[in-house]
Amino acid sequence: MWSEPAHETMRRLGRLGLREFDVVLAPGHLWADELDTGARRDLLQALSREGMKIESLNLPALDFNLGSCLAEVRDHAVRNYAEALRLSADLGGRGVVVVPGRVSGLLPPKMEDTMSWLGDSIEALLHFADKTGQDLLLETHPLTAIPTAEAVAAFIETIGHPRLLVAYDVANAEFIGEDQVAALRRLKPILGQVHVSDAKRSSWKHDPAGLGTVNFGEVRATLGEIAFDGLAVVEVISSNAVADTEATVHALNG
CATH number of the domain bearing residue 75: 3.20.20.150
Q: Is the pLDDT of residue 82 over 80?
A: yes
Same domain, 192 and 72: no
Beta bridge partner(s), residue 138: 98, 166
Is 96 inside a domain boundary?
A: no
Residues in CB range of 53: below 8 A, 6 or more apart: 19, 20, 21, 47, 92
Is 55 inside a domain boundary?
A: yes
Q: Which whole number is the average pLDDT over 1-26?
A: 95
Q: Which whole number is the average pLDDT over 188-214?
A: 96
The total number of structural domains that make up the chain: 2
Is 132 inside a domain boundary?
A: no
**Alpha carbon distances (Å) from 233 to 29, 58, 114, 167, 215:** 18, 12, 29, 10, 16
Is 97 inside a domain boundary?
A: no
Q: Which whole number is the average pLDDT over 217-239?
A: 96
Q: Which whole number is the average pLDDT over 14-34?
A: 96
Same domain, 146 and 117: no
Same domain, 61 and 168: no
For 87-122, the pLDDT digits (tens) are 999 999 999 999 999 998 889 999 999 999 999 999
Is 85 inside a domain boundary?
A: yes
Average pLDDT, the chain: 96
Same domain, 38 and 81: yes
Q: Is the pLDDT of residue 62 over 90?
A: no
Beta bridge partner(s), residue 35: none
Taking the C-alpha atoms of residue 128 and residue 124, their distance in angstroms, rounded to an integer, is: 7
Same domain, 43 and 122: yes
Same domain, 7 and 66: yes
pLDDT of residue 27: 96
Report helix angle 111-132 to 71-90, nearest 10: 30
pLDDT of residue 1: 87
Q: Give the range of the structural domain holding residue 47, as residue numbers without chain letter.
A: 1-91+109-127
pLDDT of residue 22: 98
Same domain, 174 and 85: no
Same domain, 80 and 172: no
For 119-173, the pLDDT digits (tens) are 999 999 999 999 999 999 999 999 999 999 999 999 999 999 999 999 999 999 9
Banded model confidence at residue 253, pLDDT cuts 50, 70, 90: confident
Is 102 inside a domain boundary?
A: no
Q: Which whole number is the average pLDDT over 216-236?
A: 96
Is 45 inside a domain boundary?
A: yes
Same domain, 152 and 253: yes
Same domain, 120 and 214: no
Q: Is the pLDDT of residue 33 over 90?
A: yes
Between 6-15, 92-101, 220-229, 243-252, the lowest mean confidence (pLDDT) is in 243-252
pLDDT of residue 61: 79
Taking the C-alpha atoms of residue 89 and residue 52, their distance in angstroms, rounded to an integer, is: 15
For 67-76, the pLDDT digits (tens) are 999 999 999 9
Taking the C-alpha atoms of residue 114 and residue 150, their distance in angstroms, rounded to an integer, is: 17
Same domain, 118 and 156: no
